[in-house]
Amino acid sequence: MPLSPLYISLKVAFVATFFTMLFGILAANRVVKLKRFKGVIDGIFTLPMVLPPTVVGFFLLLIFGNNGYFGKYLAQIGMSVVFTWQGATIAAAVVSFPLVYRTSRGAFEQMDQNLVYAARTLGMPEWKIFLLIIMPSCWPGVAAGTILAFARALGEFGATTMLAGNIPGRTQTMSLAVYSAVQSNNREKAFYWVIIIMGISFITMLLMNYWTGYQERSKRKRA
């Protein structure tokens, strides 16, 4: 049995999680500071979580398709994300982005703002405050969101099919492999991927619980 869906899934999920973490944290940090249009922008950032994946896929095609708003410029330099693993990554990243964004935002908002104010009056530059004070105290929340986002990216199906298709060996992830196997009445193959997906997802959740417990323990050690 070819293992390519496993590789593709992991590659897509890791790369997508890297970008969602980066952009999710930055977006949350920006939105928290906004004075106007906060609700609107927050709504837009959260939308991929509540929209049907097919709708997200539709929009992605509209933007990244070879005739899309952004895709046509990519096409001019000979690049295309449609039917590629990069496309699958974009789809997974967009769908899992709100999970990092929302948990990070919650963590930033719950933080004691006096810590930031104190750091400012002491003369610390904003980037240093973000890295040395905000991130460490919000990290448990951000990390939990990132792990959830990884699990979500790993299982992404709808938007991925629409943008990247279901090409064995190129864009077929594990969840797509399950779909194809069921379609072709290959129960055995479906079971095989189902068990692998469940194993990875379960391990991810275990890791998250262990992580939260570890955070609690190290906090208690300081107390």
**Interacting positions 130-149 with other proteins (CB under 8 A):** 132-133, 136-137
Regarding 78 and contact with other proteins (CB under 8 A), the answer is: no
Angle at 86 between CA 82 and CA 89, to 5 degrees: 110
Closer by beta carbon to other proteins, 17 or else 104: 104
Return d(Cα 132, Cα 18) in angstroms, integer.
Answer: 20
Angle at 95 between CA 63 and CA 169, to 5 degrees: 80
Least distance CB 215 / other proteins (angstroms): 12
Which of 1, 50, 77, 223 binds other proteins (CB under 8 A)? It is 223
Least distance CB 142 / other proteins (angstroms): 14
Please name the residue that has the structure tokens 């967009």.
94
Q: State the binding string over 99-128 for other proteins (x if CB under 8 A, else -).
A: -------------x-xx-xxxxxxxxx---
Least distance CB 102 / other proteins (angstroms): 23
Residue 23: which residues within 8 A CB-CB, separation 6 or more?
93, 97, 100, 101
Regarding 216 and contact with other proteins (CB under 8 A), the answer is: no
Return d(Cα 218, Cα 197) in angstroms, integer.
Answer: 31
Q: How crowded is residue 143: how many other Cβ atoms within 10 Å of its Cβ?
A: 19
Q: In 76-192, where do the E strands start and end? A: none
Nearest Cα to Cα of residue 150 among 1, 3, 18, 7:
18
Closer by beta carbon to other proteins, 8 or else 144: 144
Q: In the chain, where do the E strands start and end? A: none
Least distance CB 107 / other proteins (angstroms): 13
Regarding 60 and contact with other proteins (CB under 8 A), the answer is: no
Closer by beta carbon to other proteins, 46 or else 137: 137
Regarding 70 and contact with other proteins (CB under 8 A), the answer is: no
Give the binding site for other proteins (CB under 8 A). 112, 114-115, 117-125, 132-133, 136-137, 222-223
